[in-house]
Amino acid sequence: MTIGKSSGTKDLTVGRPIGLILGFSLPVLLGMLFQQFYSIVDTVIVGKIIGVDALAAVGSIGPVCFLIIGFCMGICSGFAIPVAQRFGAKDDSGLRRFVANSIWLSAGFAIVTTIVVCILARQILIWMSTPENIFEDAYLYMLILFLGIPVTFLYNLTSGIIRSLGDSKTPVYFLLMSSFINVGLDLLFIAGFHTGVEGAAIATVVSQLISGISCLIFMIRRYPILHMQQGEMKFDKHYAATLCNMGIPMGLQYSITAIGSVILQTAVNGLGSDAVASMTAANRINGFIVCPFDAMGSTMATYGGQNVGAKKLQRVKDGLYQCILLGAIYSVIALGILFLFANQLLMIFLDASETVIMSNARYVLIVQGAFYFSLALVNIVRFMIQGMGFSKFAILAGVFEMIARTFAGFILVPAFGFQAVAFASPIAWVLADAFLLPAFFHVYHVLERVFSGETKVEEARIHRWH
């Protein structure tokens, strides 16, 4: 049976690449903006109602949360790639078997990860030299988020599968709904019940749970191609191995990148709570501004997966070039926005009287904004390579980012103070690009030879990198 358009899916292997990329990425972008909206609402309410120390507490655990939560998100993103490839190849049964095995694997990863990180949570904060005045709030906030790891798997797996079928709109609708729930719960817990930072964490977990359940129900009802046939739901070690070969490297890529961020955050923690608050405010604004780059990356993973599954390599290259052009245009626009309005944006989180924090945060934003095109390349090229099936290259790119941030944390920040913090991520992006650009052309030519019939040697090389 061939996958039909009536199922609500979207085939990215036909049509003008630029139109498909924009049409797919805009809903993804909207969803990411709402995810950042979660984070911004938490930060505004925590900073304005509870205080600067609470803001610093929430910000101080950002890198370690990204290390763990990013690992979970990366695994789910990797699991969606074989689904996209089977969709492009019009292999319905193989698609369903990959979906089924991704469910089994996600459940196992969720249970193990939750247990391990909850046990280690307090010790992690000690290793990071978290300032004493924000330690307990940081621990409580982080512990609640870690207890919600199964919810993170639920939402990211279901939304990833939906997007792999070409539907980038549906997950956004549920995120929009849960965003309003998150705002209401934040205000209820913190302003109403005076719960402190734990209220913000609970609101985040509950709202994501709602969006995850909504995606699951929709996926079951909407897509007939996902209705399992006899024997397709059972665990299969071969399908599971393929999923792990895609998912684990992508998860590790997030985590390896985050290790450098944790080391950098440890160095920032050593500069005091004002420095932590400055980075927290800057990171919140930066996270919002760079959402289009993340959306482009997510789009390239699905676009690349479907077109490689359909063996349409020229469309892969055309789509990559056109997406890079979009990234360049937005990079210029984003830098202009930060240059003109950074102070106004930071006042969402900070009071004008906090001049030192404001000045430091603005400096970070302007320096990073000047290197946004490098970040655009990192996201676009890395996710395209992953969609093409070479997920282990993502680990190597992550290693370059980790080295750069580690160097900044151990060498630059102790030597030059807070000003050096701003250059850590730009250095990481440039180093990653130096690896990723040649890597894309390498994997492109490998697939070119495979699809032209020179399969034996090249297929062995592909399996080595899968």
Q: How confident is the model at residue 5 (pLDDT cuts 50, 70, 90)?
A: very low
When pLDDT is averaged across residues 425-454 and rounded to a whole number, the result is: 89
pLDDT of residue 42: 67
Is the separation of the CB atoms in 190 and 43 below 8 Å? Answer: no
- In sequence order, what E strands does 44-193 have? none
d(CA 376, CA 154): 28
Answer whether 185's CB lies under 8 Å from 202's CB: yes
Domain boundaries, the chain: 15-465
Q: Regarding predicted confidence, which is higher, 432 or 280?
A: 432
Residue 204: partners with Cβ closer than 8 Å, 6 or more residues away:
38, 42, 145, 148, 182
* Nearest of 101, 120, 119 to residue 109 by alpha carbon: 101
- How does 268-286 read in b/e, with b if 16+ C-beta sit within 10 Å? bbebebebbbbbbbbbbbb
pLDDT tens figures, 66-94: 788 888 988 998 898 888 888 878 888 88
pLDDT on residue 240: 92
The pTM (predicted TM-score) of the whole model is: 0.74
Single-letter amino acid code for the residue at 384: M
Position 83, amino acid:
V
In one letter, which amino acid is 32?
A: M
- DSSP designation for 190: I
State the chain's mean pLDDT as an integer: 84
**Is the per-residue pLDDT at 38 higher than 70?**
no
Buried b (16+ CB within 10 A) or exposed e, 221-258: ebbebbeeeeebeeebeebbebbbbbbbbbbbbbbbbb
> Is the predicted pLDDT of residue 245 greater than 50, yes or no?
yes
Q: Which amino acid is at 398?
A: G
264 contacts 414 by C-beta, under 8 angstroms: no
